[in-house]
Amino acid sequence: MGLGTGYVILEAGALSTFETILNLDKPDEQALTARVLWTMTFDDDVATELKSSNNLLDRLEVLSKSPDKAVKNNVKGLLYNIERISKKEKKGHYRRVVVSDTN
């Protein structure tokens, strides 16, 4: 399976640019960036990559409490997608353990 466009964008170094924008005190840009990242996290590889960035996750937690409704909603959706991949990985790990125990 080939890598999705979103993952290729991250591999090109865009994550630091997204983090910089999220650190600005500009709600319109923050909301748009969170929306772009949310869209990209439907690719499991992208969600996994974002999940591994502690700086990003810390910033998203702060922004999830933003007084700006668009920022808050977009960030919460993004965090939901990142959490979704965590749950998916845990389920997959559990299945692997069960299969290996039966062999």
Measure the CA–CA gap between 76 and 81, rounded to whole angstroms.
9
* HSE-up (13 A, CA, CB side) for residue 56: 24
Cα distances (angstroms) measured from residue 102 to each of 88, 92, 97, 98: 22, 16, 9, 7
pTM: 0.79
Q: Which position has the higher pLDDT, 99 or 21?
A: 21
> Binning pLDDT at 50, 70 and 90, where does residue 5 land?
confident
Q: Quote the mean pLDDT of the chain.
A: 85
Q: Which position has the higher pLDDT, 11 or 55?
A: 55
Strands (E), 1-103: none
Can you give the pLDDT at residue 73? 98
Question: For 8-38, what is each residue's pLDDT tens digit?
Answer: 888 888 999 999 999 999 999 999 999 999 9
